[in-house]
Copies of this chain bind each other. A is one copy, B any other.
Amino acid sequence: MYSIGIDIGGTSIKGIISADNGYRSEIVRIPTEATYGGIRILDNIIRVIEHLMQRVDSSIKISGIGIGSPGFIDMDGTVLGGAGNLPGWEGIQIYTPLHQKFGIPVTASNDVTVMALAEYCYGAARGANNCVCIALGTGVGGGLIINGQIHGGTHGMAGEIGHISVDTNGRECNCGQRGCLEQYAAAPSIVAIAKAECEKEKNYHSTAFAKRVIDSPDSVTAKLVYEYVADGDPVACNVNEIICEKLARGIGIVANIIAPDRFVLGGGVMMSGDIIIDTVKRYVSRYCWRSIYERFDIRAAELGEDAGVLGAAALAMRGIQ
């Protein structure tokens, strides 16, 4: 069975044809052009699908189209919002125009939910029928696999793990709360925390990392922070401790509620290596009921940037939202 997987990002739309016999086409990628609005995004999805279909033998039957999108996708394929980097995407009906155009079933889900499905089918969550994926990127998102199925919750909105408060008096979040996980474990927050730590009197210019951050603050990225963590820079390592302690609080809370078999951490921040996993593991037992803690593990995502298209194609094959 062949299906098409589409991954909608802020800068590009990617597509793949995947089959349950292991076949995977090359990935097609075109600009999202999100600034032109939701209809343009839809047009570009159609272009990606057309490109993909031209590449396979016409005798091959594509059974469905799966889409991973930022934000919330309702059961009927309407974008309900939450896709901050895609202006105009909210309110767009995805299923009807694509179904009319291609005559095959269309299913869509949140991009992190789709990533979770990919890791469950092909990556770090294989065999874990209850699994929570956390994507650490420009924000923090969550995707849930429950009993081997993706769990979208009401109107596909489950997994807003970035807005769990992990510090009652912590950093202000634009959602109105304080101490949201996203205010610690998202890439921009890591940078902000690094700058704040380096500006403290005791840290100011005290290490190579602190000097670099103070001297050229605009060049600081989460990736840079973790390069210095890998080198053992004490100020950078302290930033890592702050971030991972909060991340462990979030994981502990989710574990207490869902009792999953596994957590998978992915997203751009996790490209920086396994030190985050190791540090989080040191903290998480403090914030979780012991007998639950003893029964899950935490792993790094395995599929990287391909998780989106692979998960979307898997979504189409399963025919579920």
Contact = CB atoms under 8 A, between A and B. Distances in A.
A264 interface: no
A188 interface: no
A165 B253 CA distance: 7
Contacts of A166: 168
Contacts of A158: 257-259
Interface stretch (A24-32, A95-103, A286-294): A286-294
A295 B177 contact: no
A117 B161 CA distance: 26
A153 interface: yes
Contact of A157 (B144, B159, B168, B291): B291
Contact of A258 (B155, B169, B257): B257
Contacts of A164: 253, 256-257
A144 B295 CA distance: 19
Given A170-B168, A176-B286, A151 B258 contact: yes
Count copies of this chain in the complex.
Answer: 2
Interface in A132-191: 142, 144, 146-147, 149, 151-161, 163-170, 175-177, 179
A179 B256 CA distance: 14
A163 B289 contact: yes
A81 to B, nearest CB: 6
A80 interface: yes
Given A154-B295, A167-B168, A160 B254 contact: no
A72 interface: yes
B292 A142 contact: no
Residue of A149, A249, A287 with most partner-chain B CB within 10 A: A287
A41 to B, nearest CB: 20
Given A130-B154, A147-B151, A291 B80 contact: yes
Contact of A259 (B81, B152, B167, B296): B152
Among A144, A149, A177, A296, which residue has the most Cβ atoms of chain B within 10 A?
A: A177
A145 to B, nearest CB: 11
A253 B256 CA distance: 11
A306 B176 CA distance: 40
A38 interface: no
Contacts of A111: none
A260 interface: yes
Nearest to A153: B259
Contact of A147 (B149, B168, B258): B149
Given A159-B259, A164-B257, 17 more contacts: A72-B291, A144-B257, A146-B146, A147-B147, A153-B260, A154-B261, A156-B259, A160-B256, A160-B292, A163-B256, A165-B253, A165-B287, A166-B168, A175-B289, A175-B290, A254-B257, A257-B258
Q: Shortest 10 CB-CB distances between A and B: which pairs?
A: A153-B259, A158-B259, A157-B259, A160-B256, A168-B168, A160-B289, A154-B259, A154-B295, A157-B292, A154-B261
